[in-house]
Amino acid sequence: MKSTSEENQLQVHGLEVGFKNKKKYTQILNGVSFNVNKGETLCIVGESGCGKSLTSLSIMGLLPESGEVRSGEIRFEGQELTNRSMKEMSKIRGNEISMIFQEPMTSLNPVHTVGKQIIEAIRIHRNVSKKEATERVVEMFELVGIPSPRERVHNYPHEMSGGMRQRVMIAMALACDPKLLIADEPTTALDVTIQAQILDLLNELKGDLDMSIVMITHDLGVVSEMADQVLVMYAGEVIEYTDSKSLFENPKHPYTQGLIASIPKLQGKTEELPVIKGAVPNPDEMPSGCRFSTRCAFAKQECFDQSPQEEGTEAHPVRCWMYSAEWQQMTPLKGGESNGYTTDGAVDREPIRN
Amino acid sequence: MDDRMYSKKLLTTLLLTLLIVLAACGGGGQDSESAGGEDEAEDLTNNDAEDTLVVGLDDDPPLLDPHLSTAQVESQIFKANYETLINVDENLDPIPGLAKDWDVSEDGLTYTFYLQEGVTFHDGADFNAEAVKYNFERILDEDLGSPNASDLRLIEEMSVEDEYTFVVELEETFAPFLSGLSHRAGQIVSPKAAEDEEIDLSNEPVGTGPFQFVDRTAQSHLEFERFDDYWGESPDYKYLEYHAFSNEDTRITNLVSGDLDIVNRIAHKDIEQLEENPEINMSEEDGIGFQGLMLNTDREPFDNQKVRQAMNYAVDRDAITEVVFHNGAEPAVSPFAPSSWANNPDLEVPDREVEKAQELLEESGVEDLSFTLTVSPSPAEQQLSEMLKSMLDDVGFEVEIEQVEFGAILDRMYEGDYDVARLGWSGRVDPDGNAYSWFHTDETYNFTGSSNEQLDELLVDARTTVDQNERQEMYRQAAEILWDEAPYIFLYHENDYKPMKDNVQGFNHVPDGLIRPADLTLE
Amino acid sequence: MLSFLLRRAGLMIVILFFVSIIVFSLVNVLPGDPALMILGQEATDESLEALREDMGLNDPLVMQYFAWVGDLLQGDFGQSFRDNTEVSSLLAEKIPITLQLTVMSFAIAVLIAIPAGVISATRKGTLWDSSATLFALSGVSLPPFWLGILLIFIFAVTLGWFPPSGYVPITENVAQSLWYMLLPAVALGVRLSAELTRMLRSSLLEVLGSDYIRTGYAKGLLERAVVYGHALRNSILPVITVSALQFAAFLGGTVITEEIFNIPGLGQLLVTSIQTRDFPVLQGAVMFMALAVILINFLTDVLYSILDPRIKLTGGSQ
Amino acid sequence: MEQTENLSVQTTKVQNPRLRMLKTMLERLWQNKLAVFGGVVTFLLIFTALFATWLAPHDPTEQNYSAVLQAPSSEYWFGTDNLGRDIFSRVIYGAQVSLQAGLISVGIALIIGVPIGLISGYYRGFIDEYIIMRMTDAMLSIPALVLALALAAVLGAGLTNAMIAIGLVLTPNFVRLIRGEVLAHREKEYVEAGKASGISDFSIILKHILPNTIAPIMVQATLAIAAAIIVEASLSYLGLGTQPPNPSWGSMLATGQGYLDSAPWIALFPGALIFITVISINLFGDGIRDMLDPKMK
């Protein structure tokens, strides 16, 4: 894909991740590759279950016990992360790479004050006194826009609203000046107005703190607001990867096109993307051809049998037969363009959702 | 919000305080019990191990007032801090106690006691004839309700001749009178303490004995200290403690590897083990009591004499003494131990005769031979009852065993609500104490409901006759009648075992089974 | 907060009232004449009757009940039939002994249960987990008296490391006291630890799957810090509640354990009082045990609400 | 229970949903190897108890004074006790006593507890709230063994009385359980519908509510049997249960404790049997619970 450069904060190459239970291994991520440059925001976009969260957890080294990185590289500032021990990773986590999660309501420990939880994070990585750490928390609270920060430090999570809690999470994530922030759907669980505030905050902080962001979202509105680069994932594969502008102006993959077409006129809270028919196939029942073929309006016969390769330009790769040289020779589906075929077995199953 | 924080902290503090206070109360309670220093770490006791003798008892003595006492184990304690007017020696013959000498008139009605001089009670009061009189009156006082009053009930008159001479007139001759004075009725408590409203003699005894009472931890242990103003020979060691271990195994463990110096009672199954132990000396002495089965002769089938007699032949007394008592008991056929002068040597222990027993049962014509055998739930009692069941079932009885606590057994005895009960008697120095109240018609312990005129006559005569040879003849006859009448199946006389550490010397094994701590020395 | 406390306290009193009725009626239908128990084998009929009258045994039962409860409320538990000791002082003497046994058992239980529960929850599906689960299963099924006898056989009789039974007051010799009580505490503690391990495992598994645990890892905590600093505290809350509910069963276990190891605590007092028909002591001991159980549960509720900031102490029932 | 309804909803495709449900439940039980183990051992024990007469090599009460306290041998597999009786035979007969005690006392608890729980939960009201519930609270706050001990002392020593005492002590557990189930069901549509169509309370309780409580009762009852066996052994240990010479594990243990140094087999074998029995029943009970409701695990 794209060439590596000195500017790279994070490089992910050919990442294959799956779950193992007893004898069976189910692969979820299928050769995911991308780069995040310093100071850049990369948005990973896709439906639930496409592997975006798994990608971020792989970077953090926080895969669930049954999860496993089969192959591929994750380089942070040129350092390989996949072979790091738990202990080595914990020095990076929260320090150089931080993460905020989708559910601010449950992501904080209910029995400790928020201040204590951030102080703990600071003192793992910085050799400071409790008092200094507290000062730092207050500072961070101010930074993330928590009113009367000095008092709020003593609050328990349940005494705060969702937006405030997400600000606390951000404060916690940023407390040690990370170089990379991974935000996993940070606004999904919040009200629309709060969503915007949080996104603004992130944008603002990104500039102030000179960090890179990997933002995971299913919401193209968020993408348009935040992203420098966009990675579109579908069923564990990268299907399109480009800068934000090209993506919106020139979406190539039928899936991306569908996504963009489905943006509501009035930006509202959307749980999922309802317009594209069907759902992400079950990882155990992956189509042998293009993974999107079952839902693709343009799919031809060969789409179902053979996986497409990366096509398009280096700056805007796309995984779709439409952009290959063979497209014109491929056999159209009987019965016209519309693809009425849906996968029954995959109804309401969400194998990878964090 | 701040209020809530505050109130939570307050509550936490309160709870913690409560816990600490509770803990402190608990700890405090214990502290006060063990006043006496904690310098010695090595043993159970608070006192200097070198200078302490620790006696292991089979039960915690409930009442320390000898005049109210009924439990056998209490008599052990009384040997530490009380003294009796009369004592008994190894042959159970009377020897001087607080009375250095005494005269009995020809007719056996007048007793003159010449008292030991220079004796003081632990509270400083003087011991004299007035004190003896006070004690006798106290026992006879109905308000006190002394269960030991019967020993003195025949007193018609008592007088203080001079300070150290005390005279008693009896209504009629009463042969066991002197031996009664060697027991609870002869224990002399301090009149001063008895009169003191603030002193509860049941918990803090005050006597003239070689040791004075220091402290008591209820249902655990008692502490005594050498009485420095003791009139007799001063004991060899300073501290004396009694520790109660109702569990026989614990008691033995504490003797063998723990801190007990001498133990008042052991389970017979441990006899061999203790005799083999080189660090333990075991003293063995014939007991004076009797053990067996009490038959309710008011009930079927035991209203039939032949049925009762059949039982006498159905039981295998030798097997019982061997298996349950490891030969630490003598087979019994009468209330008098083989060592007693009252024993009838003509009454031999019969072999087990199944056929004879079956014949007797057949002759009796009784068809329903089922009954309940009530025993207390100790391991040995259980073992014994199981043997009895097996033996009796063999000849045609149908025995059902029922384990009932000793207190409840007594209760049923008084109400006559039992078929057969395992109940025995620790024994008294005078044979009268083993016979009269047990087998005379309607007497206190005659729960069998049996009545035999000839026997009654003999038992009354025997207690009002002074001459021992005459009495001996009467008791021999009585024993024969008892065997024939069979209201009670005599099974065994338990021997008395006193195991002690090999550094304990001077033990005189008196058949009454009481440890006289002042005799003991520690090497 | 206050209304919660009042409500719970009111409930406690109602329950105690019922306990007192149970205890009183039990004892008053127990066979055996207390007067005879006191005076023993050598009692006379007159002295028996006098004592019965004196003890109020001839009064109607209702009167006797109110007299008893009235005394109880003044802290007067009556006197032992055996030796006239105040029951309250007997209890005061025995409670610290049982308390020591309880504390030691709980300490042992916690020392075993926390690592076992943590290991089996964090190493789910491994051999460690299976062994811990097996331990929990067998521990729960081990009657304390059987384990007690087994421990005596192995460690006292065969190896001779421990005394087979007995008790040394802690005020006399701390080390010896702990030594004597170690086997009984293990006998009781193992069962408790099995229960705790079981509960802790499932509670921990639930907590370990929660979002804030992931947050803990994300901020760079090591597993140990996450488990002990965050997961354990949260998962121990339900364990505390459940173990408080187990307290009654635990006290029952002390009775038989004290009997086996001949520890002169509350349990042995109770057994002896049943055997000797020492009713005041029996009543006192049972009342105290019930009170302890009720109080422990009450305190646990309060403690729970303090430990878990989400719970507000309101009037709501459990 | 709710989950049984869920299951039947899920299996509507099959012709006989009940059969399918049973099949899945049995499959689930079979997958739980420990539960299978527990079940097998439990049934072996029941078998042993039923056929004790044929299995025991000796008469369990036959005394042999010339073979007292013998160590395990080919003649006496588990040795002999202080009266020369064969411990192996006594242990086998002891299984009869223990299982009988467990079953009957739980039966008593069910007979008393189920109706009280049903009525109390169905009608609610003052008596339910302030008498029955507080009474169960009170009984549950007295340690079960203590209450059983006191009750057994009141009733008099003996196996029958011990079983009654244990049954009474276990009763409040069932009252609470059933009352809770009833409370959960009495508001359900089918009960409301039944009421509306004029069916008597009695038949609503009997036909609609009781069947729904059977699953949790089964689980609780199985586990209660294990508990009852322990309490019976404890009472026998203290001399209030089975009376001699009938063999009971608890009283054998009590006898054996005095001989731990010289004849440990007297105590060790019956003790081991108590343990095996209780753990098997517990495993089996846990298995049944998981089978009926996998979520409860």
Residues D197-217 have pLDDT tens digits of 778 888 888 887 888 788 888
Q: Say whether D150 and C249 touch across the interface (CB within 8 A).
A: no
For the residues D161-186, what does the mean pLDDT come to?
91
| Interchain CB contact of D143 with B (< 8 Å) | no
Tokens describing residue C297: 């549960």
Q: How much helix, strand and coil, in percent to the nearest 5, is found in chain C? A: 80, 0, 20
Residue D193 confidence (pLDDT) = 79
Identify the closest residue of chain C to B256 by CA–CA distance: C163
Specify if A202 maps to a domain: yes
Pick from C214, C222, C239 the residue to mutate for testing the A interface (most A CBs within 10 Å): C214
Q: Which tokens sit at A316?
A: 């805007």
- A196 and A335 assigned to the same domain: no
Q: What is the pLDDT of residue C49?
A: 80
Residue-level pLDDT at A225 = 85
Structure tokens, A211 = 């960090």
Residues from D contacting C (CB-CB < 8 Å) are 34, 130, 134-135, 137-147, 149-151, 153-154, 156, 226, 230, 233-234, 237-238, 253, 256-257, 260-261, 264, 267-268, 271, 274-275, 278-279, 282-283, 297
Task: Specify the pLDDT at position C39.
Answer: 67
pLDDT digits (tens, 9 = 90+) for C10-57: 888 899 999 999 998 887 776 667 777 666 655 667 777 877 777 777
- Domains identified in chain D and CATH numbers: 28-59+67-292 (1.10.3720.10)
Q: What average pLDDT score do residues D273-287 get?
A: 90
Task: Write out chain B residues lying below 8 Å of C85, CB-based.
Answer: 203, 218-219
Q: Are residues A16 and A81 in the same domain?
A: yes
Q: Are residues A141 and A167 in the same domain?
A: yes
For residue A350, pLDDT over 50 is answered with no
Percent of chain B with pLDDT over 90: 60
> Per the structure block, which two tokens stand in for B428?
């008294």
Q: How many CB atoms lie within 10 A of CB B107?
A: 10
CB contacts, 8 Å: D158 with chain B: 402
Query: What one-character DSSP code corresponds to residue B346?
Result: T
Q: Report the SS3 class of residue A193.
A: helix
Helix (H, G, I), strand (E, B) or coil at B35: coil
The answer to whether position A2 is within a domain reads: no
Q: C-alpha distances in angstroms, B61 versus B98, B203, B242, B244, D120? A: 24, 10, 10, 8, 50
Number of domains in chain A: 3
Q: Which residues of B are less than 8 Å from D251 in CB distance?
A: 382
Q: Are residues A230 and A258 in the same domain?
A: no
In the predicted model, is pLDDT for residue D241 greater than 90? Answer: no
Q: Can you say how many angstroms the Cα of residue C47 is from the centroid of all Cα atoms in its chain? A: 40
CA-wise closest residue to A43 among A201, A266, A203: A203
* All chains having 3 or more CB pairs closer than 8 angstroms to chain B: C, D
| pLDDT for the residue A185 | 85
Task: Give yes or no for residue B126 having a pLDDT over 90.
Answer: yes
pLDDT exceeds cutoff 90 at A161: no
In this structure, is residue A102 part of a structural domain? no
**pLDDT tens by residue, B338-351:** 989 999 999 988 99
Which DSSP category does A280 fall into? P
Coil, helix or strand for C278?
coil
Of A250, A279, A294, the last residue of a domain is A250
Give the integer Cα–Cα distance in Å for B384 and B316. 11
**CA distances to A121, A140, A155, A245, B1 from A115, in Å:** 10, 11, 7, 40, 16
CA distance A351 to A345: 13
Q: Which residues of A279-298 are buried (b: 16+ CB within 10 A; e: fewer)?
A: bbbbbeebbebbbbbbbbeb
Closest residue, chain D, to B399 (C-alpha): D245
Question: A117-126, B43-52, C44-53, C226-235: which has the minimum mean pLDDT?
Answer: B43-52
What is the C-alpha separation between D225 and D222, in angstroms, rounded? 5
Establish if A81 belongs to a structural domain: yes
Q: Tell me: pLDDT of B455 over 80.
A: yes
Q: Which of A133-142, B50-59, B90-99, C305-314 has the lowest mean pLDDT?
A: C305-314
Per-chain mean pLDDT for chain B: 86
Q: Which two tokens stand for residue A45?
A: 């976009």
Contact B249/D63, CB-based, under 8 Å? no
CB contact under 8 A, B219 and C90: yes
Return the amino acid letter for D43: F
User: D12 vs D106, which has greater pLDDT?
Assistant: D106
Is the pLDDT at B78 greater than 90? The verdict is yes
- Rounded Cα gap, residues C111 and C149, in angstroms: 22
Identity of the residue in B60, B147, B218 whose CB atom sits nearest the CB atom of C39: B147
pLDDT, position B487: 95
Does an interface of 3+ CB pairs under 8 Å exist between D and A? no
Do A258 and A344 fall into the same domain?
Answer: yes
Q: Are A54 and A195 in a shared domain?
A: yes
Q: What is the mean pLDDT of chain D?
A: 85
Residues A159 and A233 in one domain: no
Measured between CB atoms, does D244 come within 8 Å of chain B?
yes
Average pLDDT over residues C260-264: 87
Q: Summarize the confidence of residues B387-410 as an average pLDDT.
A: 87
Candidate from B249, B387, B403 with C-beta closest to D83: B387
Q: A227, A250, A273: which is the final residue of a domain?
A: A250
B9 vs C187 pLDDT, higher one: C187
Per-position DSSP letters for C115-169, written without gaps between them = HHHHHHHHTTTSHHHHHHHHHHHHHHHS-HHHHHHHHIIIIIIIS--S-SS----
Burial of C311 (0-12, 13-18, 19+ CB in 10 A): middle
Phi and psi for A10 in degrees, rounded to 5?
A: -140, 130
Q: Kindly indicate the confidence band of residue D265, based on its pLDDT and cuts at 50, 70 and 90.
A: very high
Confidence category of residue B21, pLDDT binned at 50, 70, 90: very low
Question: Residue A164 falls within a domain, yes or no?
Answer: yes
Closest CA to A59 of A93, A14, A109: A93
pLDDT of residue B203: 87
Residue A161: how many other CB atoms lie within 10 Å: 13
The Cα B470–Cα B279 span in angstroms is 46
Is residue A274 pLDDT above 70, yes or no?
Answer: no
Hey, are the CB atoms on D245 and B386 less than 8 Å from each other?
A: yes
Where does residue B227 rank: exposed (0-12), middle (13-18), buried (19+ CB within 10 A)?
buried
What pLDDT band is residue B44 in, cutting at 50, 70 and 90? low
pLDDT tops 90 at residue B296: yes
Contact D150 C18 (CB under 8 A): no
Measuring CA to CA, how many Å separate D130 from each of D116, D136, D205?
A: 14, 10, 22
What part of B 376-435 touches C (C-beta under 8 Å)?
A: 377, 405-408, 410-411, 414
Q: Tens digit of pLDDT for each residue in D109-167?
A: 999 999 999 989 888 888 888 889 999 999 999 999 999 998 888 787 789 999 999 99
Q: Is residue A339 in some structural domain?
A: yes
Alpha-carbon distance values, C228 to B196, B403, D99 (Å): 64, 53, 43
Q: Which residue has the higher pLDDT, A348 or A210?
A: A210
Domain interval for residue A148 = 108-175
What residue of C is the nearest CA neighbor of A87?
A: C222
| pLDDT value, residue B453 | 94
- Asked if D250 and D233 touch (Cβ cutoff 8 Å), the reply is yes
Q: Using the predicted structure, report yes or no on whether residue D46 has a pLDDT greater than 80.
A: yes
C-alpha C4/C-alpha D243 separation (Å) is 49
Selected residue of C16, C18, C191, C317 to mutate for chain D interface (largest D Cβ count, 10 A):
C18
Q: Which residue of C has its CA nearest to D135?
A: C18
Question: Do A292 and A221 sit in the same domain of this protein?
Answer: no
Question: Are D245 and B404 a contacting pair at CB < 8 A?
Answer: no
Res C286: pLDDT: 92
Task: Return the ∠ at Cα C19 (arms to C18 and C22), rounded to 5°.
Answer: 90
Residue in C16, C145, C157 closest to D260 by CB: C157
The band of D1, judged by pLDDT with boundaries at 50, 70 and 90, is: very low
Q: What is the CATH number of the domain that holds A195?
A: 3.40.50.300
pLDDT at B42 over 50: no
In the structure, do chain C and chain D come into contact, i.e. share 3 or more CB pairs under 8 Å?
yes
Contacts of C306 in chain A (CB under 8 A): none
Q: Nearest residue on chain C to D240, judged by CA atoms?
A: C275
Q: HSE-up of D117 (CA within 13 Å, CB side)? A: 28
Domain C88-307, CATH class in plain words? mainly alpha
Residues of C within 8 A of B23 (CB-CB) are 99
In angstroms, the CA B516 to CA B447 distance is 33
Using one digit for the tens of pLDDT, what is the confidence trace for D211-237?
A: 878 888 888 899 899 999 999 999 988
Mean pLDDT of all residues in A197-226: 85
B427-454 per-position pLDDT tens digit: 888 999 999 989 999 888 899 999 999 9
Report if residue A354 sits inside a domain: no
Does residue A264 sit within a domain? yes
Longest CA span, chain B: 99
pLDDT of amino acid D67: 87
* pLDDT tier for residue D292 given thresholds of 50, 70 and 90: confident
- Give how far C199 is from chain B: nearest CA, Å: 25
| Contact state of B7 with C172 under an 8 Å Cβ cutoff | no
Which of A175, A197, A217 terminates a domain? The answer is A175
Q: Is the peptide bond prior to B487 cis by the omega test (within 30 degrees of 0)?
A: no
Q: Is B322 on the interface with D (CB under 8 A)?
A: yes
**Model pLDDT, residue C238:** 81
The residue-averaged pLDDT of D63-67 equals: 89
Q: How far apart are CA A177 and CA A164, in angstroms?
A: 20
Residues A220 and A290 in one domain: no
Asked if the Cβ–Cβ distance from C96 to B203 is below 8 Å, we say no
- Please tell me whether residues A67 and A57 are part of one structural domain: yes
Question: H helices within chain D, ranges in order?
Answer: 2-10, 17-31, 33-50, 52-55, 87-123, 125-126, 133-141, 144-155, 159-186, 189-196, 201-203, 210-237, 249-257, 265-292
Of A94-98, B212-216, B412-416, D64-68, the poorest mean pLDDT is in: B412-416
Residues A136 and A202 occupy one common structural domain: no
pLDDT surpasses 90 at B57: yes
Q: Where in chain C is the domain with CATH 1.10.3720.10?
A: 88-307
With H, G, I as helix, E, B as strand and everything else as coil, classify residue C56: coil
| Shared domain check, A153 and A34 | no
B211-225, B358-372, C188-202, C237-251: which has the minimum mean pLDDT? C237-251
- Closest partner residue to C26 among D137, D151, D238, by Cβ? D151
Nearest-angstrom CA–CA distance, D160 and D146: 18
Close Cβ partners of B355 (under 8 Å, ≥ 6 residues apart): none
Judged against a pLDDT cut of 50, whether residue D5 lies above it is answered with no
Q: List all residues 6 or more positions away from D197 whose beta carbon is below 8 Å from its beta carbon.
A: none
